[in-house]
Structure 1
Amino acid sequence: MVSFPGDTLISSAMDVISQSLTVPVLIILLIIVVASLFLLGEIIAEYFKNKKVKVGDIYDLIFKISNATSIEHLQVIVSQSDIPDLQKRILTKISDTHSMKKSSREAAARRLVEMEEERIDKNLNKTDIITRIGPTLGLMGTLIPMGPGLAALGAGDINTLATSLTLAFNTTIVGIGSGALCYVLGKIRKSWYDRYLADLDALSDAVLDYMD
């Protein structure tokens, strides 16, 4: 194979670039591990904090809202219900728009629900990001040490090879493990939020229908 003068320079530059990424990749993987554990604790706390509302309870609440005698009575019904506090605040804000025109009420209600959807999307993005970049960084952390490791093998330096392989395996485990954990957490959280938003949509429609 013909070797060009620039090949060695390019190869050296690529080697420097790849090896310079070692520390940043390790630091980001460490941050990902800490973030994954934090998200795990956050979801456990969320599970115990927000009790699950049964479908029958939502149906009963809609029935009570439709039979409220006044806006004040409606707000009392909402405040005394078993739905999450965030839903109570949103429904109360929607009921406060009773003096507006119908189109304005609907626009305000739609925006309040959209803001809640945006908040939920931000929470879901946390796990989605780690799910995507965790395994990628783990793969980078696997391949980067392999260059020096293979070079050490060619030179008969077993100690350097062992160190490189240990680092490669550790980063693979950390990256894939964090990604898998956040994938599961994201799926669990999404199922909660889908139910939460479905309930919120139904209740907000009930409040708007009452004010029509």
Structure 2
Amino acid sequence: MAAISNGIFNDALHTISQSLLIPVMIILAIFFIYALINMGVLIAEYYKKRKNNIDIKNIISQILSFKDQKNPNSLISVIENSKIPQTHKSVLTTLVNNSNVSTEYRESLALKMVEDEGINVAKRLEKTDIIAKIAPAVGLMGTLIPLGPGLAALGAGDIQNLAEHLLIAFDAAVLGMASAAIAFTVSKIRRRWYEEELSNLETMVDTLLEIL
């Protein structure tokens, strides 16, 4: 009776594990395609950054030139004509438009908007970070699942079946590692860019708070 129960349990586990092979391979393919798309987007962002070549010191100097002036429209024009990201322009123009409120409220508003930008950056990095961390594990699943039938085929002397299952296992391992490597590279480079942009935003916000 116990042997029958163990046999049923083992068969159930084997069925479950084998049924995961197709979903795992589909997930690996999605990870790889998504990572490749993000690599292409990263290259486009790189050339865009080289073309724009933001001079943060010049922008800060222009903002400081309005220290003794009470002309928010001109200051907003300087911000809008700069090459900083549109979301950063929104933060700075919001601060300028709230120049007549209390200092405490303006500082709280600035802190909140900068924190929101940090959260948005984390969201943009989230997907590639997840792929970089779990793609190797999914690839390992795709490697191990076909080995069961492959070993069974080896025991039965079916070399052709064994070769087919080993090929699936190798493909899964390669897809998982490739997806993780590409996603890690994309996240690493983007994180450095976004940290630099956030640092520039904080500097510009502090400059605006100083002159308002």
What TM-score do you get using the length of structure 1 for normalisation? 0.90
Structure 1 counterpart of 2:123: 122
Q: Measure how far apart 1:68 and its partner are.
A: 4.7
Distance in 1 separating the partners of 2:53 and 2:163: 51
CA distance in 2, matches of 1:55, 1:92: 16
Give the ranges of 4+ consecutive aligned residues of structure 1 lying more than 4 Å apart after TM superposition. Answer: none
Name the counterpart of 1:102: 103
Instruction: State the Cα distance separating 1:80 from its structure 2 match.
Output: 2.9
SS of alignment partner, residue 100 of structure 2: coil
Deviation at 1:144, TM superposition (A): 0.2
Q: Does 1:185 align with 2:186?
A: yes
Task: Tell me by how many angstroms 1:65 deviates.
Answer: 4.9
SS in 1 for 2:37: helix
Q: Give 3-state SS (helix, strand or coil) of 1:98's partner.
A: coil
Letter in 2 for 1:78: I
The equivalent of 2:167 in structure 1 is 166
1:55, distance to aligned residue in structure 2 (A): 5.3
Q: Which residue of 2 aligns with 1:44?
A: 43
Contact 2:139–2:176 under 8 Å retained in 1: yes
Mind listing any 5+ residue stretches in structure 2 that lack a counterpart? none
| Residue number in structure 1 paired with 2:79 | 78
TM-score by length of 2: 0.90
Alpha-carbon distance in structure 2 between the residues aligned to 1:65 and 1:84: 21
Q: Distance in 2 between matches of 1:113 and 1:36?
A: 28
Between 1:21-30 and 1:56-65, the stretch displaced more is 56-65
**Take 1:61 and 1:47, find their aligned partners in 2: how far apart are those partners?**
26
- AA in 1 matched with 2:17: S
In structure 2, do the counterparts of structure 1 residues 19 and 166 end up closer, same or farther at CA, with 3 Å as the change threshold? same
Which sits farther off after the overlay, 87-96 or 15-24?
A: 87-96
Change (3 A) 1:192 1:78: same
Tell me which residue corresponds to 2:158: 157
Distance in 2 (CA, whole Å) between partners of 1:181 and 1:133 is 13
Deviates most, 92-101 or 51-60: 51-60
Percentage of identical aligned residues: 38
CA distance in 2, matches of 1:158, 1:77: 72
| Deviation by residue 1:117-157 (Cα, 9 ceiling, x = unmatched) | 12111111111011011111110000000000000000001
Note closer, same or farther for the CA distance 1:185–1:68 as it changes in structure 2 (3 Å cut). farther
Deviation at 1:52, TM superposition (A): 3.7
Matched-pair contact (CA < 8 Å) for 2:60–2:207: no
Alignment gaps of 5+ in structure 1: none
Query: Which residue of structure 1 aligns with residue 148 of structure 2?
Result: 147
Distance in 1 (CA, whole Å) between partners of 2:101 and 2:45 is 35
Count of residues paired in the alignment: 209
Deviation at 1:196, TM superposition (A): 0.2
Mapped to 2, the partners of 1:154 and 1:106 lie a distance apart of 72
Q: Which residue of 1 aligns with 2:25?
A: 26
